[in-house]
Amino acid sequence: MALDRELDKTKVVFIDTCRRLMELGELTEEEYLGICDLLDRLDELDKEAFQQELRRISRGLSDLIGER
């Protein structure tokens, strides 16, 4: 449960950060919405699938958070 809580907290922080990046013009609206959808489907994806999806949605963000 504690891990779950941390994950939810991270999601909120992450989506908040992404929105700010969108406001700064670093992410497009399409990328932002794709990330929202990806976060909602997080439980259905393993780590590799998540990275792949993230890279597909936003190469820039994927590089920014260090995923290659």
Partner 1 sequence: MNSSDANQTFDLPMDLAAERQVLGILIKHPALVDKVVDRLRPSHFVDLSHRRIYELILDLYHKQGRISYTQIYNLLVAEGMESPRELLIALTESFVSLGELEPCVEILIRQEGLRRIIKACDTIKALALDPKAENLTELQARAQELIFAATQSNGGAENEVKNLLEVLTQCYLNLLRRREGVEDAYGLSVRFPSIDGMTTGFKKGDLIILAARPSMGKTALLLNMVTNVAKRNIPVLVFSLEMDAEQLGDRIVLSELFTYKEGGQHVVTSHEYQTKLSDEQFQLTQKVFNDLYPLPIAIVDKRGLTVAEIRAKARRFKAENPELGLIAIDYLQLIKPPGNANRSWALIVGEMVRELRDLAGELDVPLILCSQLNRGVESRENKRPMMSDLRDSGNIEEFADVVMFLYRDDYYYPELAREKGTEGLAEVIFAKQRKGATGVVQLRFIKEYTRFIEETKRQV
Give the binding site for partner 1 (CB under 8 A).
Answer: 1, 4-5, 8-9, 11-13, 15-16, 19, 36, 39-40
Run of H or E residues at 65: none
| Minimal distance, residue 42 CB to partner 1, in Å | 9
Cα separation of 30 and 28, whole Å? Answer: 5
Q: How far is the CB of 23 from partner 1 (least distance, A)?
A: 10
35 CB-near residues (< 8 Å, 6+ apart): 14, 15, 18, 27, 54, 57, 58, 61
Smaller CB distance to partner 1: residue 4 or 46? 4
Q: Residue 43 or residue 48: which is nearer to partner 1 going by CB?
A: 43
